[in-house]
Chain A
């Protein structure tokens, strides 16, 4: 049997899905789909291409959506966001990756997406087939809106994220985080407590139900470290936590810890950074 890989050019998660597909040890067909995004029609095109074989996709919004359409059309199980496959058994993520589930697929066909950052990306494939879906009256996108980021680096792309939680205390309290982030050419993030309180817009939320970030440095200021938040920042290469509670859970996920009042520490970092640059 062959495995069909749903591929999106320029998408790192698709390169990771390729690694998962290779691990299945079957002949592989890498495909992309042409035309406007229409998940039901795209799913049908993938099913036709697979001819009863496995289908693998990236653990992106679109990857999970298209594979769910495939599963619904075939009435077969779909294991979303797997980190490992052993025959008909998979390991997949729950709770945004803060818990794992081992599960068995009761079907001849495996429908899988690769959990983000669980697999090393493959080299770009030598050739990618292009499928032409039968759009018919399938629901499709009618318009695309590009957000206005005001020239600032986006949270998802930032190399440094300065993030605040309940400990920041107010919307105004974020000014010192803004200043440090600007100096580092980074972005400001926050925890769910902060967006629920209305101190910051939801677009700034890092977490399981917010943005998932993978900066070189994540600075968590006054964030306790609930799994909801950890699910969004565990992709960070280095995590520095600032908290006045030495028992805070965030320290169990941190590479570096600073204990104390963030309202004193954050401005001190900004000042020290300016001093170091002036030297």
Chain B
């Protein structure tokens, strides 16, 4: 089984959003970076499938030179090699899908192309679906369950009231959610191996965005003044009083 996992480098935002002076990005000077939790589960699932059935897992990202760090994370989880589409720009969903489609077409065909259901930062909910249409492949989103057998995938899609089940012929595109599995912690030898695995880096030119980001805004409500009910267990009567006032006691 040949599986492509698409991931995105995003900052670990911690407790408070602070923007750059031009309001075009989050101030990341003091932040670490990661891939979205959804995507981490996507890589873990792909690696498990290939460990059981044989094949290859390829990680792909579109991002700055530093995003190689995230590709190494994917390879420490077990991906075999990586494709790095290098650009410092922030891309909209349509342009991102276009660049990924071009990269996929220059590779041998994949059986399964895995995305996160939505990126942690932009949350556009659409790149995987656009890639599927461009390649003429079926697509199922929001998976919390995936079973690949004999050229088909049984996909369980999470909804508020349960799960919808889909039976999809491969090749296909799927987007997954955190909770699909519990990703492993990469071992030290796995991290060392990841440093020796190949990364195919190629620059890509940003297309004109159709959904153009103008500026970012921090919403109100960060900086509420909480009423202190007390310290330690002595606060219990005041807490119960609040519960009674809210009608939940």
Residues of A at the B interface (CB closer than 8 Å) are 37, 60-62, 64-65, 68-69, 71-73, 75-81, 89, 91, 93-107, 139-147, 156, 159-160, 184, 186, 192, 195-196, 198, 202-203, 205, 208-210, 216-217, 224-228, 234, 237-238, 240-241, 249, 251-261, 264-265, 267-269, 271-273, 276-277
Contact = CB atoms under 8 A, between A and B. Distances in A.
Interface string B167-182: 1100000000111001
Interface string B97-136: 0000000000000000000001011111110011011100
Interface stretch (B48-56, B58-66, B72-80, B208-216): B208-216
B127 to A, nearest CB: 9
B190 interface: no
B46 to A, nearest CB: 18
B189 interface: no
A250 to B, nearest CB: 8
B222 interface: yes
- The residue in A64, A195, A273 that gathers the most chain B C-beta atoms within 10 A of its C-beta is A64
A260 B231 contact: yes
B206 interface: no
A106 B15 contact: no
Contacts of A91: 217
Nearest to B141: A65
Interface string B188-225: 00000000000000000000111111111111011110
A94 B249 CA distance: 35
Closest 4 CB pairs of A and B: A249-B15, A202-B179, A268-B233, A260-B232
Given A101-B216, A252-B223, A142 B13 contact: no
A92 to B, nearest CB: 8
21 contacts: A61-B159, A69-B129, A72-B126, A72-B129, A99-B26, A99-B219, A101-B214, A102-B216, A103-B212, A106-B211, A139-B138, A140-B166, A159-B248, A196-B182, A210-B178, A227-B17, A257-B228, A259-B228, A265-B235, A271-B236, A272-B239
Interface of B: 13-17, 26, 36-38, 92-94, 118, 120-126, 129-130, 132-134, 138-142, 156-168, 177-179, 182, 208-219, 221-224, 226-237, 239-240, 242-244, 246-249
A259 B234 CA distance: 10
Interface of B is mostly: mixed
Contact of A77 (B92, B240, B242): B92
A159 B219 CA distance: 25
A15 B130 CA distance: 27
Interface of A is mostly: mixed
Contacts of B249: 184, 273, 276-277
A80 B231 CA distance: 43
A152 B209 CA distance: 47
A251 B16 CA distance: 12
Contacts of A267: 233
A229 to B, nearest CB: 9
Contacts of B37: 192, 209, 228
Contacts of B13: 95, 98, 226-228
Contacts of B243: 184, 217, 273
Contacts of B231: 258-260
Contacts of B16: 227, 249, 252
Contacts of B228: 256-259
- The residue in B92, B129, B237 that gathers the most chain A C-beta atoms within 10 A of its C-beta is B129
B214 to A, nearest CB: 5
Contacts of B226: 241, 251-252, 254-257
B42 to A, nearest CB: 12
B210 A139 contact: no
Nearest to B244: A276
A80 B124 contact: yes
A258 B123 contact: no
Contacts of A253: 221-222, 224
A159 B189 CA distance: 47
Contacts of B26: 99
Contacts of B182: 195-196, 198, 202
B123 A95 contact: yes
A218 to B, nearest CB: 11
